[in-house]
């Protein structure tokens, strides 16, 4: 009886503590289907793409966020599960987190993109931008963007097949993903900048990355000021 009582007290404390850290119950946001018909040509997008570091305060719509997530890692062939960005041996080591603030109908927080379900899963609640800004060596664009896409890689997924070459492959894949985001942002009239200068451990700590996941790129996105 005493054991049972202690167990109940422990459970109550644990649940209370979990709530206090801002870690939400798993919340899933189904995303609008991506469009594959744009308003500008690929050549125009290539010719006009520039890194953008100043954004307006305009919030992004769920449709826009969905389109950017799909461009980064969306499934483009349902049969094979292959994605918008190439992947060495289709080992898919890349994960995409989205730090969303002030978006239509979404609570602020850190979301993980699930390519298979084309959905977002809320991982952490709250505004993480100041902490991320500090981890990114005080680069203002990381603090000011309504959306920061974090591209990270899990080398172990690719290592089984490619051994020592896996790390370089994962870095290459992050480049493909970032370029997709650059081009999609440009096509939507938005801007981004690939941020590679940051304290990797600090970013991992802010985003609570685990399972061998290493942040490789931060991509703030917003409407150019």
Ligand X SMILES: Cc1cc2nc3c(=O)[nH]c(=O)nc-3n(C[C@H](O)[C@H](O)[C@H](O)COP(=O)(O)O)c2cc1C
Distance (Å, rounded) from C-alpha 147 to C-alpha 221?
5
What is the contact mask toward ligand X in residues 67 to 106, using x (rule: CB under 6 A)? ----------------------------------------
| Segment lying near ligand X (by CB under 6 A), choices 34-42, 106-114, 163-171, 187-195 | 187-195
* Residue closest to 72 by CA, chosen among 194, 196, 198, 224: 194
Angle, helices 155-162 vs 166-187, to 10°: value is 130
In the bound complex, what is the minimum distance in angstroms from residue 219's beta carbon to ligand X? 10
| Segment lying near ligand X (by CB under 6 A), choices 27-35, 46-54, 76-84, 109-117 | 46-54
Distance (Å, rounded) from C-alpha 175 to C-alpha 158?
16
> In sequence order, what are the residues at sequence separation of 6 or more whose Cβ sits closer than 8 angstroms to the Cβ of residue 21?
none
168 belongs to the binding site for ligand X (CB under 6 A): no
What are the tokens at 25? 């119950």
174 belongs to the binding site for ligand X (CB under 6 A): no
Judged by CB under 6 A, which of 6, 19, 40, 50 binds ligand X?
Answer: 50
Residue 10 backbone dihedrals phi, psi, to 5 degrees: -60, -45
Comparing CB distances to ligand X, the nearer of 99 and 195 is: 195
51 belongs to the binding site for ligand X (CB under 6 A): yes
Cα dist from 115 to 69, 104, 173, whole Å: 8, 21, 16
| Segment lying near ligand X (by CB under 6 A), choices 31-39, 153-161, 193-201, 206-214 | 193-201
In the bound complex, what is the minimum distance in angstroms from residue 198's beta carbon to ligand X? 7
Q: Summarize as ranges the residues that interact with ligand X (CB under 6 A).
A: 50-51, 53, 139, 193-197
């Amino acid at each position: 009886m005493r054991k049972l009582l202690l167990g109940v007290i422990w459970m109550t404390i644990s649940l209370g503590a979990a709530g206090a850290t801002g870690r939400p119950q798993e919340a899933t946001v189904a995303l609008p289907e991506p469009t594959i018909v744009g308003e500008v040509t690929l050549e125009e997008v290539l010719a006009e793409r520039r890194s953008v570091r100043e954004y307006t305060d305009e919030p992004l719509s769920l449709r826009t966020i969905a389109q950017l997530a799909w461009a980064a890692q969306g499934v483009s062939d349902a049969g094979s599960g292959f994605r918008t960005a190439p992947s060495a041996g289709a080992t898919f080591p890349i994960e995409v987190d989205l730090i969303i603030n002030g978006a239509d109908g979404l609570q602020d927080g850190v979301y993980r993109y699930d390519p298979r379900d084309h959905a977002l899963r809320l991982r952490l609640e709250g505004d993480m931008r100041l902490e991320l800004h500090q981890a990114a060596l005080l680069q203002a664009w990381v603090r000011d963007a309504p959306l920061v896409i974090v591209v990270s890689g899990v080398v172990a997924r690719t290592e089984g097949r490619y051994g020592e070459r896996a790390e370089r492959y994962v870095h290459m894949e992050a480049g493909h993903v970032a370029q997709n985001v650059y081009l999609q942002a440009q096509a939507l009239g938005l801007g981004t900048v690939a941020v590679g200068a940051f304290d990797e451990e600090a970013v991992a700590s802010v985003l609570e990355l685990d399972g061998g996941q290493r942040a490789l790129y931060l991509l703030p996105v917003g409407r150019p000021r």
